[in-house]
Amino acid sequence: MQELRGRTAVVTGAASGIGLALARRFGAEGMRVVLADVEAEPLRAAEAALRDAGVDACAVRTDVARAESVEALARRTLEAFGSVHVVCNNAGVFAGGLSWEVPLADWEWVLGVNLWGVIHGMRSFLPLLHAHGEEAHVVNTASMAGLVTNPFAAPYTVSKHAVVALSETLYHELTLRRSPVGVSVLCPEAVATRIGASERNRDAGAARAPETAEQAFVREALTRSVAGGVAPEAMAERVVAAIRDRRFYVLAEDDWRRAAALRCEDVRLGRNPRFEPPRPGG
Q: Give the tens place of pLDDT for each residue, 20-50.
A: 999 999 999 999 999 999 999 999 999 999 9
Mean pLDDT (the chain) is 93
Our answer to whether residue 249 is catalytic in this structure is no
Q: Domain spanning 8-257: which superfamily?
A: NAD(P)-binding Rossmann-like Domain (3.40.50.720)
Please state, for a pLDDT cut of 90, what percent of the chain lies above it: 79
DSSP label of 102:
S
Nearest CA among 116, 39, 186, 31 for reference residue 14 = 39
CA angle 211, 213, 217 (to 5 degrees): 100
HSE value, Cβ hemisphere, 13 Å, CA-based, for 110: 23
**Residue pair 256/189 in contact by the 8 Å Cβ criterion:** yes
Q: Rg for the chain (alpha carbons), in Å? A: 18
Residue-level pLDDT at 52: 98
pTM: predicted TM-score of the whole model, two decimal places: 0.92
Decide which of 276 and 66 is more confident.
66
Residue-level pLDDT at 281: 45
Residue-level pLDDT at 207: 60
Residue-level pLDDT at 35: 99
Give the number of residues written for the chain.
Answer: 282
Label residues 247-273 b or e (16+ Cβ within 10 Å = b): eebbbbebbbbebbeebeeeeeeeeee
Average of pLDDT values for 118-125? 99
Q: Which residue in 62, 156, 239, 242 is the catalytic one?
A: 156
Residue-level pLDDT at 279: 62
Residue 246: pLDDT over 70: yes
Nearest CA among 120, 124, 118 for reference residue 141 = 118
SS3 184: strand
Q: At what angle do helices 17-28 and 232-245 cross, to 10 degrees?
A: 50
Indicate the burial class of 168 (C-beta count within 10 angstroms; 0-12, 13-18, 19 or more): middle
**What does the pLDDT look like over 143-172, one tens digit per residue?**
999 999 989 999 999 999 999 999 999 999
**What does the pLDDT look like over 198-243, one tens digit per residue?**
677 777 556 677 888 888 888 887 877 777 788 999 999 999 999 9
Residue 100: pLDDT over 80: yes
Q: Where are the alpha helices (DSSP H) in 82-149?
A: 104-114, 116-131
> Which of the residue ranges 68-82, 104-118, 189-203 would you say has the lowest mean pLDDT?
189-203
Average of pLDDT values for 74-93? 98
Cα separation, 129 vs 78, in Å, equals: 11
Residue-level pLDDT at 273: 95
Cα separation, 40 vs 60, in Å, equals: 9
Q: 246: alpha, beta or left, given left = phi > 0 and alpha = psi -120 to 50?
A: left
Cα separation, 6 vs 232, in Å, equals: 24
Give the model's confidence band at 282: pLDDT under 50 very low, under 70 low, under 90 confident, else very high: very low
What's the order of all strands across the beta sheet hosting 249-251? 57-61, 32-37, 8-12, 86-89, 136-141, 181-187, 249-251
